[in-house]
């Protein structure tokens, strides 16, 4: 039987809790902003994905990460990401978009979007990027109230949902490591959050001390000098999750930056070079059509459209995009032309074809 949307949401939320509750196995979480990057993370084998507020601000609105993006922007986008992926999605909701009242409704709307969990930071509004200077945190009592409101909303709407307190005090006005630890402990003991994100940790000793003293799972972003700890070091020091919050978007942006400059400087031959580099990678080139099961559309047409409304795929043709070209004359039997053979569809095997995500997820469901 095919998994319903509600069952899929609950499965991913419980999986996220399982990740947090594992004491002897750390997980690495990568982040970005889009359904494409979430699917790439899933295909690469990562267990969960972070949708970063800084990246939504930049890529959706074209603004700095200074509290301009709003609840509706975040929730609507998160809904797209979680609908397209089969791994838990962890969402950045900045400061909760206001006081305890706003936090209540933020939690409600985020839960309805289907994500597995969310983080609320203890900054004063308007917030600043957690990686930059100029941050100021709200008083401890106010922060605890916001986390209590978030937890109460979680319990009212879905107890499987996960609430994370992000402590941004390190590097903020008047901040210190000792005060950050004191706050983090209070967020767990008095606020009731499920885990703590301690931002911008500077040393390995700080990680070990934080993991020892904070009575909840610990998410870490390294803010110290290179070299950063290895994954084995993180696990030995007690981190439960190590987060690279913008890695997917940053890599994509830098690749685009170099490719466009090279294209402008050297012209069309650059396109063949980029395609050749992708083909030479042991991971192969990315295929958006495969990531999002493009064949489902044709299968749905064949199943449900009247005969006279169905598209003619036999006598029409398309062409290969830049990244799909190999510089060779295409074989007419296999090119994207009149004689192209239709791809086998996974959709025939399910009642609801839109629930098929990957062979891995199908295997999990059968188990």
Give per-residue pLDDT as tens, 177-206.
Answer: 999 999 999 999 999 999 999 999 999 999
**C-alpha–C-alpha distance, residues 350 and 356, integer Å:** 8
Question: Is the preceding omega at residue 367 within 30 degrees of 0, hence cis?
Answer: no
Position 217 confidence tier, pLDDT thresholds 50, 70, 90: very high
Do 270 and 262 contact (CB within 8 A), yes or no? yes
* Torsion 18-20-23-24 (CA) sign: positive
39-95 pLDDT, tens digit each = 999 999 999 999 999 999 999 999 999 999 999 999 999 999 999 999 999 999 999
Do 164 and 194 contact (CB within 8 A), yes or no? yes
Q: Which two tokens stand for residue 51?
A: 């949708």
CATH of domain 5-251: 3.20.20.60
Nearest to 119 by CA among 79, 86, 156, 162: 162
Cα-Cα end-to-end distance for the chain: 12
Residue with the larger pLDDT of the pair 269 and 332: 269
**Averaged pLDDT, 131-143:** 94
Identify the burial level of 359 via C-beta atoms within 10 angstroms of its C-beta, where 0-12 means exposed, 13-18 middle and 19 or more buried. Answer: exposed
Question: Across all residues in the chain, what is the average pLDDT?
Answer: 89
Position 324 confidence tier, pLDDT thresholds 50, 70, 90: low
| Host H or E run for residue 120 | strand 117-121
Flag whether pLDDT at 353 surpasses 80: no
pLDDT of residue 333: 45
**C-alpha–C-alpha distance, residues 243 and 32, integer Å:** 11
Q: Among 72-76, 163-167, 316-320, where is mean pLDDT lowest? A: 316-320
Question: Is the preceding omega at residue 227 within 30 degrees of 0, hence cis?
Answer: yes
Flag whether pLDDT at 304 surpasses 70: yes
Flag whether pLDDT at 137 surpasses 50: yes
**Averaged pLDDT, 107-134:** 94
Flag whether pLDDT at 360 surpasses 50: no
The pTM assigned to this predicted structure is 0.86
Flag whether pLDDT at 2 surpasses 70: yes
Position 349 confidence tier, pLDDT thresholds 50, 70, 90: very low
Q: Among 30-34, 36-40, 241-245, 274-278, where is mean pLDDT lowest? A: 274-278
Flag whether pLDDT at 343 surpasses 90: no
pLDDT of residue 335: 43
Enumerate the domain spans of the chain.
5-251, 268-366
Position 320 confidence tier, pLDDT thresholds 50, 70, 90: confident
CA count, 13 A, side-chain hemisphere, 29:
26
Position 210 confidence tier, pLDDT thresholds 50, 70, 90: very high
pLDDT of residue 270: 94
Flag whether pLDDT at 237 surpasses 70: yes
Position 288 confidence tier, pLDDT thresholds 50, 70, 90: confident
**Averaged pLDDT, 95-118:** 98
Q: Which two tokens stand for residue 331?
A: 């074989």
pLDDT of residue 365: 40
Q: What angle do CA 191, 194, 200 make, to 5 degrees?
A: 90
């Amino acid at each position: 039987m095919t998994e319903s949307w509600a069952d899929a949401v609950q499965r991913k939320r419980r999986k996220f809790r399982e990740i947090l509750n594992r004491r002897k196995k750390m997980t690495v979480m990568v982040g970005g902003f889009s359904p494409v990057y979430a699917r790439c993370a899933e295909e690469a084998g990562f267990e969960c994905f972070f949708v970063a507020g800084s990246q939504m601000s930049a890529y959706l609105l074209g603004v700095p990460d200074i509290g301009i993006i709003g609840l509706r922007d975040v929730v609507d986008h998160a809904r797209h990401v979680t609908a397209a992926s089969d791994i838990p999605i962890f969402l950045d909701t900045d400061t909760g978009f206001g006081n305890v009242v706003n936090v209540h409704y933020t939690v409600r709307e985020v839960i309805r979007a289907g994500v597995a969990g969310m983080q609320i930071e203890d900054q004063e509004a308007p917030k600043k990027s957690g990686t930059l200077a100029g941050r100021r945190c709200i008083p401890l009592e106010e922060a605890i109230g916001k986390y209590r409101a978030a937890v109460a909303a979680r319990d009212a709407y879905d107890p499987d949902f996960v609430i994370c307190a992000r402590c941004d005090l390190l590097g903020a006005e008047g901040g210190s490591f000792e005060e950050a630890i004191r706050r983090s402990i209070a967020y767990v003991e008095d606020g009731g959050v499920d885990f703590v994100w301690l931002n911008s940790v500077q040393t390995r000793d700080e990680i070990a001390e934080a993991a020892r003293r904070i009575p909840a799972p610990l998410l870490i972003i390294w803010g110290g000098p290179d070299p950063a700890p290895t994954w084995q070091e993180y696990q030995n020091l007690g981190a439960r999750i190590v987060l690279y919050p913008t890695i997917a978007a940053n890599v994509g942006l830098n690749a685009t930056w170099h490719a466009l400059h090279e294209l402008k400087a050297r012209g069309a031959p650059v396109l063949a070079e980029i395609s050749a580099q992708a083909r030479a990678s042991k991971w192969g080139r990315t295929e958006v059509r495969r990531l999002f099961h493009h064949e489902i559309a044709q299968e749905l047409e064949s199943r449900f459209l009247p005969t006279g409304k169905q598209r003619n795929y036999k006598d029409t043709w398309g062409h290969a995009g830049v990244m799909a070209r190999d510089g060779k004359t295409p074989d007419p039997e296999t090119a994207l032309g009149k004689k192209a053979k239709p791809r086998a569809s996974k959709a025939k095997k399910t009642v609801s074809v839109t629930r098929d995500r990957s062979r891995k997820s199908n295997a999990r469901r059968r188990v």
